């Protein structure tokens, strides 16, 4: 397990994913308190002077014009956390909550929020003990960030809400009880701290970061599955020739074509029919794979660039910044919590991954249809008729591909008014990131089905020749857990088994772009 330092500087997507999956431990930077001290002093002084500062000495949202008396300032901060914890639905997954703890701590530690160091320290203490706030998944419009989710994240900081300790069920237990068991004392919030706990895009950041890493893996899997299908379908690798690819040099296309050339290199199956009549030109699902897979790669790369900026940004409101002359500090209201950049990126990510599944399903269909499979038996069943073979596997692939089309309706073009018309344009970014991860999960299923069918196709070609060195390793890994299917047997466990080995298949394929 590697160590990360919480200094207030941004984290990479890889950092977030490693923390989410318990591959990295986070410790507080030695200079963190000093970094946060100036901004905290600005807030404290504003309260002492009775300045009118949004969220510090005023109400929130549509109540921004309501001034709060000194005797009610502490109650104001607790009240906003309680009242905004209004999310519903199933709890977020452990890995998303771990990522969220890290990212919220990072924002607060950056030195612009005006809070005490005890707040990010509390989040890191929860992370270190793997005590995870129970955060329902629904209830954000991506306006002032993800208010409801962040409020549920914040409740355990003050000893309220629910926490999941290792071994607890999804709904966890009362936070006060869990904190006491682990020797942690709830915090008493001071001015601005409640507001700083709930403003921000970190839930969207967390889900998007995990989704981007998953999407990048899908790109490699799509190339691997396509290569195995090309061999099973007696296809050709001529369309992947570098001379053809460089005359349309989109980066993703070049990478995908290079992967396919490597995967199909020295393939006896391709060599066995290289000079036959049908090796002149393949269908689009094979021939245009670099163009389609590559376009997805380029779009995912854009999403990574957006996420990298977001992971180093300050998304709180209000924030403490330097004065207009570069000297001193002032508290300023901002719109940096608005989720539009993430919403656009997540919608794009969903579309990119959906297309990987869409073209994969077309290759599955070609493997099963004797009119397009170049000599394979119907539905890859040696005794078709008595056996249905992989017929229903294609139904499942078609089903989730169609579901992805619905999920790819963009969230980012929607908006709905909240907070008494104060929040009159919202991003719907939270919807977008959740949909993107669902599309990714569906696409994993489609690619697993293609790999399963292509492996059967390669088995059926074995009297002629075998696959190349790299695809042979992929084929052997599949066959280590899933036997060939000469006679019908239950399909669902086979699909699930391949889904569970997808990471192994990337490793077996060797180094890919």
Name the residues annotated as catalytic: 54
Nearest residue to 428 via CA among 211, 199, 96, 146: 146
Among candidate residues 436, 512, 423, 486, the one with its CA nearest the CA of residue 225: 512
Distance (Å) of CA 38 to CA 45, 105, 113, 145, 337: 11, 18, 10, 25, 22
Q: At which residue do the structure tokens 């977030």 appear? A: 16
SS3 377: coil
Residue 513 DSSP label: -
Q: Which residues contact 462 (CB under 8 A, 6 or more apart)?
A: none
Are 142 and 429 within 8 A, CB to CB?
Answer: yes
CB 286 within 8 A of CB 228: no
Distance CA 218, CA 506 (A): 9
Question: Measured between alpha carbons, how far is 50 from 469 in angstroms, rounded to an integer?
Answer: 74
Helix H or strand E segment including 474: helix 469-481
* Whole-number Cα distances in Å, 13 to 129, 207, 305, 433: 22, 11, 10, 15
Residue indicated by tokens 């209201």 = 333
Phi, psi of 482 (to 5 degrees): -130, 115
Q: Phi/psi at 5 (nearest 5 deg)?
A: -105, 125
- Residue in this structure with the two tokens 């709060």, named with its chain if needed: 68
Helices (H), 190-322: 193-198, 202-232, 242-245, 251-264, 268-272, 284-287, 289-310
Ranges of beta strands (E only) in 373-479 are none
- Please state whether beta strands 162-164 and 173-174 pair in parallel, antiparallel, or not at all (unpaired): antiparallel
CA geometry: angle 57, 120, 178, nearest 5 deg: 105
Q: For residues 197 and 314, what is the distance between their CA atoms, to the nearest angstrom?
A: 13
Containing H/E element for 503?
helix 502-508
| Cα separations in angstroms, 331 against 117, 201, 306, 321 | 18, 20, 27, 6
Q: Which two tokens stand for residue 315?
A: 């998304």
DSSP state letter for 379? G
Greatest CA separation for the chain: 87
Which phi and psi (to 5°) does residue 266 adopt? 60, 30
Q: From the CA atom positions of the chain, what is the Rg in Å?
A: 27
């Amino acid at each position: 397990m590697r160590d990360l330092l919480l200094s207030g500087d941004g984290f990479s997507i890889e950092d977030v994913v490693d923390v989410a999956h318990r591959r990295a431990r986070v410790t507080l930077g030695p200079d963190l308190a000093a970094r946060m001290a100036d901004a905290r002093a600005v807030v404290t002084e504003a309260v002492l002077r009775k300045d009118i500062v949004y969220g510090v000495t005023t109400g929130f949202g549509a109540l921004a014009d309501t001034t709060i008396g000194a005797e009610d300032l502490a109650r104001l901060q607790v009240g906003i956390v309680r009242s905004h914890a209004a999310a519903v639905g199933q709890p977020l997954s452990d890995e998303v909550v771990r990522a969220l703890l890290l990212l919220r701590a990072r924002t607060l530690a950056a030195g612009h929020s005006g809070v005490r160091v005890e707040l990010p320290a509390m989040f890191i203490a929860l992370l270190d003990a793997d005590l995870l706030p129970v955060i329902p998944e629904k209830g954000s419009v991506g306006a002032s960030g993800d208010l409801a989710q962040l409020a549920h994240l914040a409740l355990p900081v003050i000893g309220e809400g629910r926490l999941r300790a290792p071994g607890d069920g999804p709904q966890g237990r009362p936070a006060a009880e869990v904190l006491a068991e682990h020797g942690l004392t709830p915090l008493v919030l001071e001015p601005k701290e409640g507001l700083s706990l709930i403003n921000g895009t970190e839930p969207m950041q967390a889900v998007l970061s995990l989704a981007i890493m998953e999407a990048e893996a899908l790109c490699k899997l799509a190339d691997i599955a396509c290569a195995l299908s090309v061999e099973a379908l007696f296809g050709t690798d001529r369309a992947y020739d570098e001379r053809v690819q460089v005359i349309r040099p989109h980066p993703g296309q070049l990478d995908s074509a290079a992967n396919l050339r490597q995967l199909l290199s020295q393939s006896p199956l391709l060599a066995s029919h290289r000079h036959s009549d049908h090796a002149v030109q393949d269908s689009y699902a094979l021939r245009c794979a670099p163009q389609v897979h590559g376009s997805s790669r380029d779009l995912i790369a854009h999403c990574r660039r957006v996420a990298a900026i977001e992971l180093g940004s300050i998304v709180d409101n209000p924030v403490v910044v330097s004065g207009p002359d570069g000297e001193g500090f002032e508290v300023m209201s901002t719109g940096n919590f608005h989720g539009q950049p993430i919403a656009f990126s997540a919608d794009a990510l969903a579309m990119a991954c959906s297309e990987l599944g869409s073209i994969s399903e077309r290759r599955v269909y070609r493997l099963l249809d004797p009119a397009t499979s170049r000599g394979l038996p119907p539905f890859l069943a040696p005794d078709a008729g008595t056996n249905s073979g992989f017929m229903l596997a294609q139904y499942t692939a078609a089903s989730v591909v169609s579901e992805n089309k619905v999920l790819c309706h963009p969230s980012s073009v929607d908006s709905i008014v909240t907070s008494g018309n104060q929040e009159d344009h919202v991003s719907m970014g939270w919807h977008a990131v959740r949909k993107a991860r669902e599309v990714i999960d569906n696409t994993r299923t489609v690619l697993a089905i293609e790999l399963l069918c292509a492996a059967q196709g390669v088995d059926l070609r074995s009297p002629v020749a075998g696959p190349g060195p790299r695809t042979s390793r992929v084929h052997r890994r599949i066959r280590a857990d899933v036997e060939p299917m000469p006679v019908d047997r239950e399909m669902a466990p086979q699909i699930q088994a391949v889904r569970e080995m997808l990471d192994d298949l990337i490793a077996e394929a060797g180094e890919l772009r």
